[in-house]
Amino acid sequence: MKKPDNHIYVIFGASGDLAKRKLIPALYSLYVQNLLPVKFVLLGVSRTELSDDEFRKKMKEALNKFKEIDDTTQIDRFVTLLYYLSINTEDKNDYKNLKIRLEELRKENNIEANTIFYLSTPPNLYSVIPKNLSAYKLNNQNDGWKRLIIEKPFGYDLESAENLKNELMQDWTEEQIYRIDHYLGKETVQNLLVTRFSNGIFEPLWNRNYIHHVEVTSAENIGVEDRGGYYESSGALRDMIQNHLLQIVGLIAMEPPSSLEPVAIRNEILKVFQSLRPIKPEEVKTSAVRGQYISSKIKGEFIHGYREEKGVDPHSTTETYAALKFYIDNWRWGGIPFYIRTGKRLPTRVTEVVVHFKETPHFLFHKDGDVNSCNQLVLRIQPDEGILLKFGMKIPGAGFDVQTVNMDFHYADLAVERIPSAYERLLYDSMKGDSTLFARTEEVIAAWKFLIPVLNEWKNNKSIPLHGYPAGTWGPEHADDLIEEPNMTWRYPCKNLADDGVYCEL
């Protein structure tokens, strides 16, 4: 693959957890594969007082613990590319020191002024740091490109997202801003495009004439762990659906792009978001379900409920489970329901898309009691990544008894040594200036506009229940009511892709 232009990579919050666990290991993987620029250095920036050597030592320890590639022989050479600067990121005057340090590193290493600024910081700094960078013209592209990478969440609601957009656009252009969503960096998410548009057998069926409904599930078997404080201000809808899962819906529902250029792909995703049928306040009760896990025993082990977790209000109404039913009002999808659910403390960790095809018009082999007997295409994103097609086959013997069978492909069957991590792919793309897998401002705003009625009703309408569900189950039973068909229900995925959609318990 092509090497990116020479540049300096600046990570704000370099002493934090994300840098140690994900960013530095991803950059090291690129280094081992000879995918970093010919001339490259990384400058870590944070409040913590560290020397260059102390920072290198910490990152060396992190690489040995969190490495994403087996080769550890090049760690010593890689860490010589790392430098460190301590500043108060909220003090504009300290950015003078950053500018001086960048100029020194460029001169010492003969590197152009191309620079990436990665904000691995709390969201309250997403407008502060870019503003302070621009105060010292560190956003100026006259001497080389400058790019800004921002982690989610991009705003807390529609108003804060629009405010952040306006603040950033005062000093930075849309082309300079990369909103990172690690879900889009997963190989299996990107494979949704290839599955749809490189195979003549799928795309002709990918519409309201043949599809009954589409289901997207992202389940976690863990609780909030030590993130109770953060989760209290977020909840499942903001944490997962507003970004990760709606982006997956965009890839599933988009029209074929005119090319693989970033603008063409992102334009089609934006059209999907703009076609989302608004959920009216009076429709929230029947279109959305929220829940919160309560204590239970799993395999004899007592599991605390959400309200007993560290940093959580004992009277909290924050949802740890959210499910939605919605429609995309365009020619391809008109009248076809989409269902999304996500939750914590569910039976297993799994993310997948299930395309449910319509039943045959003549029920020759239909038997009373059949459930989910229509064909299904399962696109598994994690774990056991792959594709599963479910269809009917005759059971050997007399008569025409039919059994659902699976035809499956596992991503691990491809003859590749390793699948790159999501951050590895996204950091590499950001270096090349490829914004395909990064969310655009309009996408973020459109997603917030769609979800705000649900969030507002959940906050203000006391008649909408917050359902408790025992940890280790598939969430509130009321979520089944979203799927109105009498013989249809959610698929209950297990860890192994090929397992039938039985009720998978821990």
Task: Dump the DSSP string for 119-152.
Answer: E-S-GGGTTHHHHHHHHTTTT--TTS-EEEEEES
Distance, in Å, from the CA atom of 467 to the CA atom of 474, rounded to the nearest integer, reads: 12
If DSSP codes are grouped into helix, strand and coil, which group holds residue 214?
A: strand
- pLDDT (mean) for 78-93: 95
- pLDDT (mean) for 48-67: 92
Residues 6+ apart with CB under 8 A from 499: 493
Q: Domain segments of the chain: what residues?
A: 7-151, 184-420+441-482
Name the nearest CA neighbour of 382 among 497, 253, 242. Answer: 497
Residue 276: both structure tokens together: 């989302």
Provide the pairing of β-strand 7-12 with 115-119.
parallel
- pLDDT (mean) for 293-310: 91
- pLDDT (mean) for 90-111: 95
Q: Could you give the residue numbers annotated as active site?
A: 244
- pLDDT (mean) for 43-69: 92
What is the pLDDT, as a whole number, of residue 505?
47
Distance, in Å, from the CA atom of 232 to the CA atom of 229, rounded to the nearest integer, reads: 5
What is the pLDDT, as a whole number, of residue 492?
83
Between these two residues, 500 and 105, which has the higher pLDDT value? 105
Between these two residues, 339 and 194, which has the higher pLDDT value? 339
pLDDT at 357 over 70: yes
What one-character DSSP code corresponds to residue 203?
G
Q: What are phi and psi for residue 438, nearest 5 degrees?
A: -120, 140
What is the pLDDT, as a whole number, of residue 371?
46
> From residue 88, how far is each of 11, 85, 94, 119 by CA, in Å?
14, 10, 6, 14
Using a pLDDT cut of 70, give the percent of the chain over it: 93
Name the nearest CA neighbour of 146 among 162, 121, 168. Answer: 168
Name the pLDDT band for 307 (thresholds 50, 70, 90).
very high
Using a pLDDT cut of 90, give the percent of the chain over it: 63
What is the pLDDT, as a whole number, of residue 276?
97
- The length of the chain in residues reads 506
What is the pLDDT, as a whole number, of residue 364?
59
Among the residue ranges 46-50, 97-101, 346-350, 380-384, the one predicted with the least confidence is: 380-384
Name the pLDDT band for 69 (thresholds 50, 70, 90).
confident
Among the residue ranges 146-155, 314-323, 447-456, the one predicted with the least confidence is: 146-155
Residue 298: both structure tokens together: 């799993």
Does the pTM of the predicted model rise above 0.85?
yes
Name the pLDDT band for 445 (thresholds 50, 70, 90).
very high
Name the pLDDT band for 83 (thresholds 50, 70, 90).
very high
| Fold match, 7-151 / 184-420+441-482 | no
What is the pLDDT, as a whole number, of residue 411?
76
pLDDT tens digits, 136-170: 999 999 999 999 999 888 888 999 999 999 999 99
pLDDT at 506 over 70: no
Residue 243: both structure tokens together: 């970004």
Among the residue ranges 270-279, 377-386, 395-404, the one predicted with the least confidence is: 395-404
CATH of the structural domain 7-151, one choice from 3.90.1150.10, 3.40.50.720, 3.90.600.10, 3.40.630.30: 3.40.50.720
- pLDDT (mean) for 84-104: 95
- pLDDT (mean) for 283-294: 95
What is the pLDDT, as a whole number, of residue 498?
66
Among the residue ranges 25-34, 110-119, 178-187, 334-343, the one predicted with the least confidence is: 178-187
What one-character DSSP code corresponds to residue 178?
E
pLDDT at 400 over 90: no
What is the pLDDT, as a whole number, of residue 372?
46
Name the pLDDT band for 373 (thresholds 50, 70, 90).
low
Distance, in Å, from the CA atom of 240 to the CA atom of 263, rounded to the nearest integer, reads: 24
CATH architecture of 184-420+441-482: 2-Layer Sandwich (3.30)
Average pLDDT along the chain: 89
pLDDT at 129 over 70: yes
Residue 91: both structure tokens together: 């003090």
What is the pLDDT, as a whole number, of residue 152?
84
| Region of residue 401 (phi > 0: left; psi between -120 and 50: alpha; otherwise: beta) | beta
